């Protein structure tokens, strides 16, 4: 399987400034992307003045979270204690899962890392642009933090980006605590957090059985849908990996398409999944999605709240969807009766 190059992701591409070596190198290789990227780059930034949802006091709440993340990202790697403590893989797996949950994660799993879960090259920051990603850790501890349902159901208002940025901070801090702990035991560990990933987090999460990737292109869990943010710590400490889980999401997405009809950027594909890079999956049009973010001024989130799994489906019903298309149709009928087109809370929280 081909590894994804971080330089091709929208967040990286938006950082290439005209006249810089990164800009020249990237668009010499990718002439087809230059026009659309130049157009999007001219728009105000997320949380910026001039976007549809801009508010001079509330937008900086999310902006502050992203600045904080940027300030702490250098702590993702650190010195390993020279005194190594001998550990047993099963006990350590249990301890790390328990600790990650204790620190605030709602779901946690262990992935046996494969090459294509790592980016091939870095792209998001000028100082590391084009650097090859070296694979040194065999395990990934991957965890999900929950985003508040009420806040996400206000998508695409400022409440949504306050919540997503808060969840990125939560995940970054939990990842730091786990990575510091493992290094303290004498093993190598790296925290992969917002704006500083070497791995493709949804692929690691799927491998660890936390969820599956849906039509909206992001991870969907049985418990919280896509109303989560992911954190990953890769390490060489011995752990016991989990297994992938197929809970029938592909068939559910085939019959559902609620996110297709609500996406304001028309970025989510209708129809069947396509074979991309060796696997059958749906791929969103990342330019159309990100272009919408830069108009709205938040990271939108409408596909998160439109997903029936994000609103909660009873466990006994989820257990039946793999074998029963009728059960899927019943869940979708109930969803439509309860929410209409999609859940939406118009008013911001009182404190906002
Ligand atoms: S975040 Fe918004 S624009 Fe992007 S895919 Fe989801 S619904 Fe569409
Ligand atoms: S809204 Fe429906 S089609 Fe879209 S990801 Fe969720 S389950 Fe799949």
pLDDT tens for 93-132 read 999 999 999 999 999 999 999 999 999 999 999 999 999 9
Is residue 284 located within the same domain as residue 201? no
**Mean pLDDT across the chain, nearest whole number?**
96
Is residue 231 located within the same domain as residue 298? no
Is residue 201 located within the same domain as residue 260? no
pTM of the model: 0.96
- Is 20 among the domain residues? no
Res 287: pLDDT: 97
Predicted confidence (pLDDT) at residue 279 exceeds the cutoff of 80: no
Give every CB contact of residue 96 below 8 A, 6+ residues apart in sequence: 108, 110, 141, 178, 181, 182, 239
Query: What is the SS3 string spanning 2-18?
Result: CCCCHHHCHHHHCCCCC
- Is 1 among the domain residues? no
Count CA atoms within 13 Å of residue 314 on its CB side.
7
Based on its alpha-carbon atoms, the radius of gyration of the chain, rounded to whole angstroms, reads 20
The finding on whether 152 has its CB within 6 A of some atom of ligand 1 is no
Is residue 151 located within the same domain as residue 223? yes
Is residue 109 located within the same domain as residue 140? yes
Is residue 221 located within the same domain as residue 293? no
Of 205, 235, 265, the last residue of a domain is 235
Is residue 79 located within the same domain as residue 191? yes
Distance from residue 137's CA to the centre of ligand 1 (Å): 33
Predicted confidence (pLDDT) at residue 277 exceeds the cutoff of 80: no
pLDDT in tens, 2-44: 899 999 999 999 999 999 999 999 999 999 999 999 999 999 9
Domain of residue 147 covers 60-235
Of 235, 259, 274, the last residue of a domain is 235
The finding on whether 307 has its CB within 6 A of some atom of ligand 2 is yes
Mutate to test the pocket of ligand 1, among 9, 270, 303 (most ligand atoms within 8 A of CB): 303
pLDDT in tens, 150-176: 999 999 999 999 999 999 999 999 999
- Is 13 among the domain residues? no
Of 184, 201, 235, the last residue of a domain is 235
Q: Which atom of ligand 1 is nearest to the CA of 259?
A: 7
- Is 94 among the domain residues? yes
- Is 42 among the domain residues? no
Res 1: pLDDT: 82
Confidence tier at 181 by pLDDT (50, 70, 90)? very high
Q: From atom 2 of ligand 1, which residue's Cα is the shortest distance away?
A: 300
Is residue 273 located within the same domain as residue 206? no
Give every CB contact of residue 329 below 8 A, 6+ residues apart in sequence: 255
Is residue 180 located within the same domain as residue 111? yes
- Is 259 among the domain residues? yes
Select from 306, 267, 301, 259 the least CA-distant residue to 284. 267
End-to-end CA separation in angstroms for the chain: 46
Peptide bond into 26 cis (omega under 30): no
Distance from residue 80's CA to the centre of ligand 1 (Å): 40
Is residue 299 located within the same domain as residue 277? yes
Tell me the two tokens of residue 85.
């403590």
Distance from residue 246's CA to the centre of ligand 2 (Å): 15
- Domain at 218, CATH number: 3.40.109
Select from 218, 212, 222, 175 the least CA-distant residue to 194. 175
Is residue 283 located within the same domain as residue 229? no
8 A C-beta contact, residue 185 and residue 174:
no
Distance, CA of 32 to CA of 34 (rounded, Å)? 6
Res 197: pLDDT: 96
- Is 191 among the domain residues? yes
Res 82: pLDDT: 97
28 CB-contact burial (10 Å; exposed 0-12 / middle 13-18 / buried 19+): exposed
Predicted confidence (pLDDT) at residue 276 exceeds the cutoff of 90: no
Res 46: pLDDT: 95
Res 314: pLDDT: 95
17 CB-contact burial (10 Å; exposed 0-12 / middle 13-18 / buried 19+): exposed
- Is 11 among the domain residues? no
The finding on whether 46 has its CB within 6 A of some atom of ligand 1 is no
Predicted confidence (pLDDT) at residue 136 exceeds the cutoff of 90: no
Cα 321 → chain centroid: 25
Count structural domains, the chain.
Answer: 2
pLDDT in tens, 234-261: 999 999 999 999 999 999 999 999 999 9
Distance, CA of 163 to CA of 165 (rounded, Å)? 5
Is residue 212 located within the same domain as residue 131? yes
């Amino acid at each position: 399987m081909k590894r994804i190059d971080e330089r091709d992701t929208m967040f990286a591409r938006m950082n290439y400034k005209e006249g810089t070596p990164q800009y020249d190198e990237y668009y010499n290789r990718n002439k087809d992307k230059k026009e659309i990227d130049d157009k999007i780059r001219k728009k105000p930034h997320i949380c910026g003045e001039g976007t549809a949802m801009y508010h001079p006091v509330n937008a900086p709440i999310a902006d502050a979270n992203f600045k904080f993340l940027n300030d702490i990202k250098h702590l993702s790697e650190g010195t390993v204690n020279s005194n190594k403590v001998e550990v047993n893989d099963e006990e350590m797996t249990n301890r790390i899962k328990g600790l990650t949950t204790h620190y605030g994660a709602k779901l946690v799993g262990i992935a046996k890392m494969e090459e294509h879960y790592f980016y091939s090259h870095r792209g998001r920051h000028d100082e590391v642009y084009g650097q090859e990603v070296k694979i040194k850790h065999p395990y990934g501890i991957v965890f999900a933090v929950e985003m508040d349902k009420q806040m996400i159901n206000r998508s695409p208002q400022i409440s949504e980006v306050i919540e997503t940025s808060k969840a990125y901070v939560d995940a970054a801090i939990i990842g730091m605590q786990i990575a510091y702990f493992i290094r303290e035991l004498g093993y190598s560990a790296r925290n992969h957090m917002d704006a500083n990933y070497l791995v493709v987090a949804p692929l690691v999460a799927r491998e660890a059985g936390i969820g599956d990737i849906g039509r909206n292109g992001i991870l969907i869990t049985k418990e919280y849908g896509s109303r989560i943010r992911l954190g990953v710590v890769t390490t060489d400490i011995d752990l016991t990996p989990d297994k992938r889980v197929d809970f029938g999401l592909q068939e559910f997405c085939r019959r559902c398409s609620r996110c297709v009809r609500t996406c304001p950027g028309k970025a989510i594909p209708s129809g069947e999944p396509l074979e991309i890079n060796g696997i059958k999956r749906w791929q969103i049009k990342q330019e159309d999605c990100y272009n919408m973010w830069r108009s709205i001024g938040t990271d939108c989130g409408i596909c998160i709240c439109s997903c029936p799994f994000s609103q909660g489906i009873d466990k006994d019903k989820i257990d039946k969807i793999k074998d029963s298309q009728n059960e899927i149709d019943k869940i979708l009928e109930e969803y439509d009766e309860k929410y209409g087109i999609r859940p939406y809370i118009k008013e911001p929280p009182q404190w906002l």
